[in-house]
Amino acid sequence: MTILDISVPVSGSMPIFKGDPMVNIARTADMSKGDPYTLTRIDLGVHTGTHVDAPLHFVRDGAAIEQLDLNALIGPAYVVDLSRVDGEITARDLDATHLPGGAERILFKTKNSALWEKPGFQEDFVALAADGARWLVERQVRLVGIDYLSVEVYGSTDFAAHHILLDAGVIILEGVQLKDIAPGVYELLCLPLKIQGAEGAPARAVLIQE
């Protein structure tokens, strides 16, 4: 069994979605400065790095992060190669993946995985088109993941992809790193922090290869 970490490191220099809070990590006690122990304080938005969006992000009175069904966050997941797609992933692109019926968790491996190497937030990431989001809902997908900070095309004003997915209860996993992951089926373990009442949370996500 091999455990493949698809989470990005959280640090003060990581890319943050434009407008989101910056990450601040500070030591409030430090043994190297004579304190009896070391203790770190973190200050960050819940949509930092690898994170999960709960329905509450875009649905009034929608489920918060601690209410998500762990059965949706853990289980077989398909990593699909969409590295030839520019701009938005459409229903046609998803048809071409020949995913088996009944696939409940799908992670999109796109050109985005290379964007993590670039400093600062990159606006030209590959996102999910509205018809691609509908495709996933129609097939009763429970979780969809993408390898940069949003499923939504940058600059969107209607947030169609988020609305279509979250209205249908599809969990969104954003900010994974799939650079070293071959397309195929894995066991996903994705556990967002249990932050009461929050509309999202940072997560550690791993793929297990049998």
Nearer to Zn ion, 141 or 203 (CB): 203
Instruction: Give least dist CB 93 to Zn ion, A.
Output: 22
Q: Which of 47/109 has CB closer to Zn ion?
A: 47
Smallest gap from residue 99 Cβ to Zn ion (A): 23
Residue in the shown chain whose Cβ atom is closest to Zn ion: 47
- Do 197 and 64 touch, CB atoms closer than 8 A? yes
Q: How far is the CB of 200 from Zn ion (least distance, A)?
A: 5
Compute the Cα dihedral for 201, 151, 180, 209 and give only its sign.
positive
Tokens representing 144?
A: 């969809």
CB of 91 to Zn ion, least distance (A): 22
Q: Return the residue matching tokens 């910056």.
A: 22
Has 57 been annotated as catalytic?
A: yes
Q: What are phi and psi of 10, to 5 degrees?
A: -90, 125
Which lies closer to Zn ion via its Cβ, residue 55 or residue 132? Answer: 55
Q: What residues make contact with Zn ion under the rule CB under 5 A?
A: 47, 53, 174
Give how far Cα 12 sits from Cα of 22, 46, 124, 152, Å.
7, 14, 22, 24
Choose the catalytic residue: 47, 57, 162, 163. Answer: 57
Nearer to Zn ion, 147 or 174 (CB): 174
- DSSP run (H or E) holding 132: helix 130-138
Query: What is the C-alpha to C-alpha distance for residues 41 and 74, in angstroms, rounded to an integer?
Result: 29
Catalytic residue numbers?
Answer: 57
